[in-house]
Amino acid sequence: MAVPPWLESLLSTAFFTVCTTHGDAARGECNMYCLDCKGDAFCFYCRSSKHKDHQVIQIRRSSYHDVVRVTEIQKVLDISGVQTYVINSARVLFLNERPQPKSGKGVAHICEICGRSLLDPFRFCSLGCKLVGIKRNGNASFSLEAKNEVVVMDRTRREGISKEDEELREGSQQDIYPPTPPPPPSSARRRKGIPHRAPFGS
């Protein structure tokens, strides 16, 4: 499954509204989302009472835009290709695209969908743009299973290459340094004869 059933609902959910049940409480803002229920956002206290044993992620805010921590979302989604940022010492990514004036010349990396300038060579600026890219081109996926298959195939390929390199290396060493021939059989030591002097001329 390229796109999990809860993702589109997550991206269209309004967060940071006041909880109708716990609005007067200190943590009464709705910044939680349940992947099992796929419903509306809820607050910290609703999580304790209604979603105790469910898969829940917490949404945070950066410059009035919704973000999620990489450590939380990468457990349930393949986020490869999406630009990440470090905000308040935590690595996060944005849920949806953020409007931006047209990128000027000299921008090295831009989002394939909305054209937003990116810091690093990623394909998308947000989960929302990756979702559009999957629907439009089908050359990406949110599935962790597909990612794991690619990782296993890549590891197997690299192991095969390294093994082949090792065999080639061993072969080349044998070519460069041929085995030393065994020493010739030791012959019996010859006894020296008695030296003869040349006769003196008379």
Nearest alpha-carbon partner for 41 in 3, 63, 6, 10: 10
Answer yes or no: are the C-beta atoms of 43 and 25 closer than 8 Å.
yes
Q: Record the tokens describing residue 67, joined without a space.
A: 């973000």
Question: What is the SS3 assignment for 52?
Answer: coil
The whole-chain average pLDDT of the chain stands at: 81
- On whether the pTM is more than 0.75, the answer is no
Please check the confidence at residue 149 and state whether its pLDDT lies above 80: no
| Adjacent-strand bridge partners of 91 | 86
Q: What is the pLDDT of residues 61-73, one digit of tens each?
A: 998 999 999 999 9
Tokens of 121: 């060579």
pLDDT digits (tens, 9 = 90+) for 104-143: 667 789 999 999 999 999 999 999 999 999 999 888 888 8
Report the distance separating Cα 68 and Cα 83, nearest Å: 12
Quote the strand ranges of 101-173, DSSP E: none
